[in-house]
Amino acid sequence: MNVHGHRRREINRAITDQLERVAHTTLLGLTHPSAIELARRLIEIAPGGLSRVFYSDTGAAAMEIALKMALQYWQQCNPPRPHKTKFFSLCNAYHGDTVGAMSVGGIDLFQRAYHQLLFPILQARGAYCYHCHLHMSYPACRFTCLNEVEQMIAEKADELAAVVMEPMVQGAAGMLVYPAGYTRAVWEIAKRHQVLFIVDEVATGFGKTGKMFACEHEGIEPDVMALGKGITGGYLPLAATITTEQIYRAFLGTVEQQRTFYHGHTYTGNPLACAAALASLDLFEQEQTLQQLQPKIALLTKELERFKQLSLVGDIRQCGFMVGIELVQDKQTRLLFPTREKVAVRVTKEARRRGVIIRPLADILVVMPPLSISEEELGILLNVIYDSIVSILGSS
């Protein structure tokens, strides 16, 4: 989740400067200058009407907060709609490893053992085009798979608190990149049926898709956005849940009304982490990180082209600097390798022997370089991955 590289002088300095002031002070009923300043900066860059920041310390917590916020909003909005208590998400979703975040997740392997703990949700199949469950192909399909999504949401709109979604890319599922327009279409369905839209930008936020936030690719305005991972440049644990004025106002009232959002972690909005996050945002501006990134994304796209010729590379998915290379046993039938062959694990181990640390998700090789990578380093990275695939699986 590193953004600007390791040992960045500017971020190191910001942390040690903060350390000279105070290492930690609670956000429970109190605040501190770095948290205030960071909230102001996050709102400046956040999409749409997002204007209120609630801090925490991990992506999973940011999602738990988003879920609790949505649920309580419907109890306290005017007029209240307390029957809106359910959540909708897509298969293959990943939102973190805590109980609420797992409940809205959609990767069976991660949640199977904890089934007893999870609350029921509505879930439809999303656009995993390479293994399309409708056996159609994009764009000829015209998003036929959205029919199921719309039907499910429309039918239960009165009970639905929110639709939860990773915009543009389902990361943990294996870098499943949606076609352009898909995320926006789901957002429009949620809006049409008066269901809140929660975006999980924990993985996609802070430049990984080529824009500051993935929402920007689709021009969507979520009601709640969860941030984590890259927020501190990859330095320290910090997360944030950002919401709109409308939702914020539903939590205001007299002491007797008890409309408070009761959620807080001891290390929420830690000052050292906030200082790192501010320094990271400064670097985005000073180094024009997002502008500098564009030619590197183009280079990455070009370099990935030759991977397509490899006989056991089935699909290559890319959204900015988020890439998944899916290995298959048979390119024609898209047949997966038996799990026990651990092909992607073997390829990543080979890459490690050659000096590159990457990691697999099932049989998908994940490539997600720091935004600060040079073109030369990008070349080395891809050469090693290419050679490692050939070395383990052969080239034909």
Binding site for ligand PLP (CB under 6 A): 58-60, 63, 94-96, 166, 171-172, 200, 202-203, 228-229
Residue showing the smallest CB distance to ligand PLP in the complex: 59
In the structure encoding, which two tokens stand for residue 377, read together?
């380093």
Radius of gyration of the chain (CA): 21
Closer of 229 and 296 to ligand PLP (Cβ): 229
Beta bridge partners of 89: 123
In the bound complex, what is the minimum distance in angstroms from residue 83's beta carbon to ligand PLP? 28
In the bound complex, what is the minimum distance in angstroms from residue 41's beta carbon to ligand PLP? 20
In the bound complex, what is the minimum distance in angstroms from residue 360's beta carbon to ligand PLP? 16
Q: What pairing do the DSSP bridges indicate for beta strands 322-327 and 313-319? A: antiparallel
Distance CA 207, CA 63 (A): 20
In the structure encoding, which two tokens stand for residue 266, read together?
């001891």
Closer of 50 and 172 to ligand PLP (Cβ): 172
In the structure encoding, which two tokens stand for residue 77, read together?
């909005």
In the bound complex, what is the minimum distance in angstroms from residue 10's beta carbon to ligand PLP? 23
In the bound complex, what is the minimum distance in angstroms from residue 322's beta carbon to ligand PLP? 10
Closer of 250 and 367 to ligand PLP (Cβ): 367
Other CB atoms within 10 A of residue 269 CB? 29
Residue written as token pair 């039918």? 155
What DSSP assignment string belongs to 119-133? PP-EEE----GGG-T
Distance CA 196, CA 160 (A): 8
Measured between alpha carbons, how far is residue 38 from residues 44, 206, 244, 273 in Å?
10, 14, 17, 10
- E strands in 194-298: 196-200, 224-227, 239-244
In the bound complex, what is the minimum distance in angstroms from residue 321's beta carbon to ligand PLP? 14
Specify the DSSP class assigned to residue 142.
Answer: T
Find, among 226, 242, 232, 227, the residue nearest to 271 by Cα. 232
In the bound complex, what is the minimum distance in angstroms from residue 271's beta carbon to ligand PLP? 19
In the bound complex, what is the minimum distance in angstroms from residue 30's beta carbon to ligand PLP? 24
Closer of 96 and 324 to ligand PLP (Cβ): 96
Closer of 4 and 229 to ligand PLP (Cβ): 229
Q: Please list, in sequence order, all residues whose beta carbon lies within 8 angstroms of the beta carbon of residue 393, skipping any fewer than 6 positions away.
A: 310, 312, 327, 343, 347
